[in-house]
């Protein structure tokens, strides 16, 4: 039972990251807007994050590099957390609209779940479903 669920969630995560990567490259303005001011060369960083998301999504689908892709996407999700925090605390408007804490609160709270999801979907961890030693 675990393997079909893991495969389905791996596909879902890969699709989400592929779409996000595409958006980072095709429409970088919203991502530039939420980039914290201390990040150097924000346009390069946003483009690099798009490439990283696309590479991670592809990597999840390739068994020889799947675990490395999971670790990479988990690290990526950890590294972009400051942009999500900045987006929330600075109340950054995207396309002239700000988002409420109904969006930001769950988004920030769920970041650890996204990190775990990348690790579990890639087979890098079985926690909390694996055997205990």
For the chain, give every domain's residue range.
Answer: 2-121
Q: Are 47 and 24 in contact (CB under 8 A)?
A: yes
Q: What is the average per-residue pLDDT within 92-107?
A: 88
Distances from the Cα of 106 to the Cα of 58, 84, 98, 125, angstroms: 27, 11, 16, 24
* pLDDT reading at 103 higher than 90: no
pLDDT in tens, 26-73: 999 999 999 999 999 999 999 999 999 999 999 999 999 999 999 999
Q: What is the mean pLDDT of residues 102-115?
A: 93
pLDDT of residue 91: 87
Q: Quick one: pLDDT at residue 131?
A: 63
DSSP string, 77-114: HHHHHHHHHHHHHTT--BTTB---HHHHHHHHHTHHHH
Asked if pLDDT for residue 9 goes beyond 50, the answer is yes
Q: What is the pTM of this model?
A: 0.89
pLDDT number for residue 1: 47
């Amino acid at each position: 039972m675990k393997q079909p669920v893991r495969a389905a969630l791996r596909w879902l995560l890969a699709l989400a990251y592929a779409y996000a990567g595409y958006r980072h490259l095709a429409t970088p303005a919203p991502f530039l807007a939420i980039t914290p001011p201390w990040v150097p060369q924000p346009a390069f960083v946003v483009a690099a994050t798009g490439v990283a998301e696309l590479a991670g999504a592809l990597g999840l689908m390739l068994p020889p590099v799947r675990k490395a892709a999971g670790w990479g996407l988990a690290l990526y999700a950890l590294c972009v957390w400051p942009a999500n925090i900045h987006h929330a605390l600075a109340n950054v408007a995207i396309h002239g609209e700000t988002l409420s804490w109904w969006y930001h609160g769950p988004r920030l709270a769920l970041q650890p779940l996204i990190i775990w999801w990348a690790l579990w979907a890639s087979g890098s961890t079985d926690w909390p479903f694996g055997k205990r030693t």
